[in-house]
């Protein structure tokens, strides 16, 4: 008997996790050379076997506490449907200018096709032009897809299909759209932001910049991957499904360099109803990067103004949060650990979060604020009962995964969370 489909619902960053989507990194991570590293958007080539061992710590822990859906399995379900297969493959071939591969792709089994769409499709060498072409792939590998947070964002009951900053990643958004629309497990109200101004490259948004703080408060990063035009489009589309009454959007401007500031969740993440993790120099200290408050009434913009720093502004809306500093009090440690995703925490319940073990100064700060530090293996082996801990950080090694340029929040896409009781 088929399980009953549930409705996706995310109204906070910290509500108890009920369902999450993951993508275990596969051969696509190694299907690159030093020449393609820049295109892959991270600065080194990952060792796949080591990265998979580390990722296993994350996925095994989450499988112990919640329902986990693997992205590739969901994609295979979509491809099993002839009409959806035809639609998705057609969109991909058209978008990436490989229409002459359509028939070849359509003849593959669903599993083989899913693998090729993610791991890359080698180009045919059947002409002088193709022989002389420097590009090995007709469909490039999706090196970054294990960061499932980027290509979409769940806001309330909406699945927002994001507009990726790098053209290499557009296929990720097309795949996510198909999964939300046609999977057999959950229902989503799909908001496809590609439908408007599809060729306007000034309109960009990525999920790492979109934080659902409360059901009436969004915080959005404005930087390299999410433009002001992208935020305007996002708010325009969300307004059509907005609940009645007032809601607030905070837009936090981000630096264009270094690359570790790629998304808002690399400098600000929620930990509990009254605690957050910050990269202090930017969130609390740097006046060059504004915080803008947009007040909405029934989905329509009522007022836009610059405000003091983010935490002060949230406090005025009843969210009085203590900031814990990534890297501790030392500026050198702050910069080093922010670079390795030290501020990128993922909450699986209020006061219970995941992080890399490598950022020791950050974990030391967490410990000072009452968080017990445990390893994912201690939990999955049964040595530690996570339900008996009031506040905790569950760590995964992250020596290899961090080199991809993201942390625990980047690698997890929550589909459903329980409601939060705010103090």
* Parallel/antiparallel/unpaired status of strands 322-325 and 275-278: parallel
By percentage, how much of the chain surpasses pLDDT 90?
A: 77
Query: Could you give the CA distance from residue 307 to residue 62 in angstroms, rounded to a whole number?
Result: 38
Q: Three-state secondary structure along 298-351?
A: CCEEEEEEEECCHHHHHHCCCCCCEEEECCCCCHHHHHHHHHCCCCCCEEEECC
Predicted TM-score (pTM) of the model is 0.94
Higher pLDDT, 140 or 195: 140
- Scanning the structure block, which residue is given the tokens 């096709």? 113
Catalogue all structural domains in the chain, each as residue range(s) with its CATH number. Answer: 6-417 (3.75.10.10)
pLDDT exceeds 70 at position 41: no
| Helices and strands in the chain: count of H runs, count of E runs | 14, 22
The whole-angstrom separation of Cα 402 and Cα 227 is: 25
Is residue 61 a contact partner of residue 349, using CB atoms and an 8 Å limit? no
Residue pair 190/177 in contact by the 8 Å Cβ criterion? yes
- 226-245: pLDDT as tens digits: 999 999 999 999 988 877 78
Computed over every residue of the chain, the mean pLDDT equals 92
Residue 293 in tokens: 């408050």
* pLDDT score at 245: 87
Comparing 69-83, 148-162, 205-219, 278-292, the range with the smallest average pLDDT is 278-292
Length of the chain (residues): 423
* 406 alpha carbon, distance to own chain's centre: 9
Q: Is 197 left (phi over 0), alpha (psi -120 to 50) or beta?
A: left
64 neighbors 58 (Cβ within 8 angstroms): no
Q: pLDDT digit string (tens) for 362-402?
A: 999 999 999 999 999 999 999 999 999 999 999 999 888 98
For residue 1, the model assigns a pLDDT of 41
| Rounded Cα gap, residues 336 and 328, in angstroms | 11
Residue closest to 78 by CA, chosen among 199, 190, 206: 190
Q: Give the number of other CB atoms < 10 A from CB of residue 240.
A: 10
Encoding tokens for residue 170?
A: 């557009």
Q: What is the four-CA torsion angle of 102, 103, 107, 113, rounded to 10 degrees?
A: -10
User: 197-201, long-range: CB within 8 Å, 24+ apart, which pairs?
Assistant: 197/233, 200/229
Which is higher by pLDDT, 296 or 127?
Answer: 296
Q: Is the pLDDT of residue 35 over 80?
A: no
């Amino acid at each position: 008997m088929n399980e009953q489909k549930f409705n996706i619902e995310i109204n906070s960053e910290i509500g108890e996790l009920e369902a999450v989507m993951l993508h275990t990194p596969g051969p696509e991570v190694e299907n690159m050379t030093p020449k393609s590293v820049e295109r892959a958007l991270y600065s080194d080539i990952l060792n796949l076997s080591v990265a998979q061992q580390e990722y296993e710590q994350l996925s095994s822990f989450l499988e112990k506490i919640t329902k986990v859906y693997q992205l590739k399995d969901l994609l295979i379900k979509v491809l099993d449907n002839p009409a959806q297969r035809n639609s998705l493959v057609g969109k991909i071939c058209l978008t990436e200018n490989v229409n002459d591969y359509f028939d070849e792709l359509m003849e593959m089994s669903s599993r083989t096709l899913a693998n090729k769409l993610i791991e890359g499709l080698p180009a045919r060498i059947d002409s002088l032009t193709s022989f002389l072409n420097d590009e090995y792939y007709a469909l490039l590998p999706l090196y970054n897809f294990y960061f499932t947070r980027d290509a979409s964002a769940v806001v309330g009951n909406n699945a927002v299909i994001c507009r990726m900053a790098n053209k290499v990643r557009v296929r990720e958004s097309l795949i996510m759209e198909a999964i939300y629309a046609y999977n057999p497990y959950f229902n989503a109200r799909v908001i496809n932001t590609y439908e408007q101004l599809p060729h306007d490259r000034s309109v960009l948004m990525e999920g790492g910049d979109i934080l659902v703080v409360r059901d009436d408060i969004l915080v959005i990063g404005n930087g390299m991957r999410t433009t002001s035009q992208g935020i305007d489009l996002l708010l325009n589309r969300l307004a059509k499904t907005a609940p009645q009454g007032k809601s607030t959007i905070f837009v936090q401007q981000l630096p264009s360099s270094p690359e570790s500031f790629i998304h808002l969740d690399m400098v600000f993440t929620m930990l509990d109803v009254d605690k957050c993790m910050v990269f202090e120099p930017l969130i609390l200290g740097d006046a060059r990067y504004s915080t803008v408050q947009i007040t909405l009434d029934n989905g329509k913009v009522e007022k836009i103004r610059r405000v003091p720093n983010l935490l002060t502004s949230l406090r005025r809306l009843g969210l009085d949060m203590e900031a814990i500093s990534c890297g501790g009090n030392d500026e050198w440690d702050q910069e080093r650990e922010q670079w390795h995703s030290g501020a990128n925490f993922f909450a699986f319940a209020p006061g219970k979060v995941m992080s890399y073990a490598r950022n020791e100064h950050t974990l030391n700060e967490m410990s000072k604020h009452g968080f017990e530090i445990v390893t994912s293996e201690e939990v999955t082996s049964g040595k530690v009962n996570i339900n008996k801990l009031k506040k905790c950080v569950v760590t995964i090694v992250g020596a290899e995964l961090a080199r991809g340029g993201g942390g625990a929040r980047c690698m997890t896409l929550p589909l459903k969370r329980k409601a939060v009781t705010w103090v």
